[in-house]
Structure 1
Amino acid sequence: MDMKEAGSQRKLQLQEPEELRLEAYENSKIYKEKAKAAHDKLIAKKEFNVGNKVLLYNSRLKLMPVEIMDGSTTTKFTVNGQQLKPFYESFQEHTVEELHLLNAAYN
């Protein structure tokens, strides 16, 4: 093997880890994009109209700001829109019937 060929072989060996690193970076980027798309698909879309009553989880985050008004004091404040849930006034509590099971003999 002459020196020129040995030199070109050495250059290829030095570039190989860099190529592997770039390939791993691209694969990681693709994985993150797919994971984000799958996560975003699971997020429920919420639609609120002016005048709707909502339940608010107490949070200091203001990632998706929504302005709401307290019905009793007419005070307006900004909250994270992801922390709101619809309030259903006509919701009625149901009683649950209890059933007691007897021990069954297994054959």
Structure 2
Amino acid sequence: MDLKSGGEARFLQIHELEELRSHAYKSSSRYKERVKRFHDKRLRDHKDLRIGDLVLLYNSRMRLFPGKLKFRWMGPYTIKEIFPYGAITIEDPNRASFKVNGHRLKLYINGSIDPMEEILELHFPHA
């Protein structure tokens, strides 16, 4: 193989590599867009929180002191004011109020718990 044909072959290889990179980049960006659309479809736009609702506050300090059986939600608190961009002022039963991020709140569902139990009797099989 002479230098001229070797140079042309190398030139074609470089351009082929650039085409492969371009195709991989486009494919990757299409994949990322699909994943983003799928993720965004599954997200709730906002929580339906209103002033006066009872909510639980996520205790972020529990991450520092992990405990399998520790309760990570505190409350209930009452929503006092809702600000734009997700900030919410909540009030505890002692009338102390503070502002938190709305992502740290979830609706408190109170009510009676149905005491009905299902009892399964286990029998040993007869051989």
TM-score w.r.t. the length of structure 1 is 0.70
1:77 matches 2:99: yes
Residues paired across the two proteins, number:
101
Over the aligned positions, Cα root-mean-square deviation in angstroms equals: 2.9
1:30 matches 2:34: no
Number of the residue aligned with 1:100: 121
CA separation of 1:77 and 1:17: change in aligned 2, threshold 3 A? same
Per the alignment, in what secondary structure is the counterpart of residue 60 of structure 2?
A: coil
Q: Which runs of 4+ in 1 moved over 2 A?
A: 3-12, 71-74, 101-106
1:48 Cα offset (Å): 0.8
Per the alignment, in what secondary structure is the counterpart of residue 55 of structure 1?
A: strand
Deviations 1:16-74 (A, max 9, x none): 111111211111111111112112222234211111111121238xxx64222223233
CA separation of 1:15 and 1:105: change in aligned 2, threshold 3 A? farther
The runs of 5 or more residues in structure 1 that have no matched partner are none
Give the structure with the higher percent strand. Answer: 2
1:87 matches 2:88: no
The runs of 5 or more residues in structure 2 that have no matched partner are 62-84
Number of the residue aligned with 1:20: 20
Per the alignment, in what secondary structure is the counterpart of residue 68 of structure 1?
A: strand
TM-score w.r.t. the length of structure 2 is 0.61
